[in-house]
Amino acid sequence: MASGSRHRLVRYGREVLSPLLLLKSPASKHPHQLPTVEKIAISANENRLLTHGKTEAMPHRAAMELLTGRKWHWTVARKSVANFKQRKGDVTGTACTLKGHHAMSFLEKWIYILGPQESTPLPWKGGLLGKGKPEIRSFHFSVRMPKFAPEWDKSWEYFKALKAFNVAVVCKVPRGDVRLAASMLSGMQVPGIGWHGYHREDVKQAQLKWREENAEA
């Protein structure tokens, strides 16, 4: 794949963040050993959307498809819970997994539009998935009321049923320090992720230089 066809967040990560991450982690000798965004899992569940059919949840699903540009699948209850008036098979919400260019496009929209408004970070977790496999770090957030999304103004009838949705950014760390995943996302200015040892001013200067060089691109 030609470098010009890569998403600009990917190019920014390679050209700006990779050198900084290599300096931060002596154990990493090559950019291929640095963390990458594997996928983004998004789910939107509302208790009041519990229904025995899918008709009532259609606006809920349409709103999320407008935000992500991808088709969503239904999430259904696996068992009955009397306290929540939930029956097995009830539609509880929708979910979607984004990869590649779609994941980067949503991440960019989240960084600049959705996240800065009102996002609640949850404790991030990670662990080995199996012997010989790279370690996975996932970062969980709850994004509420995306009022200023570009799709909001023209499709209010869909978004008025949506209160919040959950986002999990899953990062793959081939080698080295798993904390570099948090550093990578903080360098991209993802809301809720700490800097984890970064010199923030150094990152700002690198960001400004990269944007000036790519202003005409």
pLDDT of residue 176: 62
pLDDT in tens, 131-165: 445 567 777 777 665 555 666 667 777 777 666 77
Pairwise CA distance, residues 161 & 153, whole Å: 14
pLDDT in tens, 195-204: 443 344 555 5
- Domain range for 146 is 3-213
- 60 within 8 A of 94, measured Cβ to Cβ: yes
The runs of H, that is alpha helices, within the chain are 8-12, 18-24, 58-68, 100-109, 156-159, 180-187, 200-213
Count of structural domains within the chain: 1
Average pLDDT estimate for 111-127? 54
Percent of the chain residues past pLDDT 90, beyond the cut: 1
Average pLDDT estimate for 159-188? 73
Buried b / exposed e across 134-146, counting CB within 10 Å, b at 16+?
Answer: bbbbbbbbebeeb
pLDDT in tens, 3-53: 446 777 777 777 777 777 777 776 677 777 777 888 888 887 665 555 555
pLDDT of residue 29: 74
* Domain of residue 118, CATH code: 3.30.1440.10
Residue 56: both structure tokens together: 């009532």
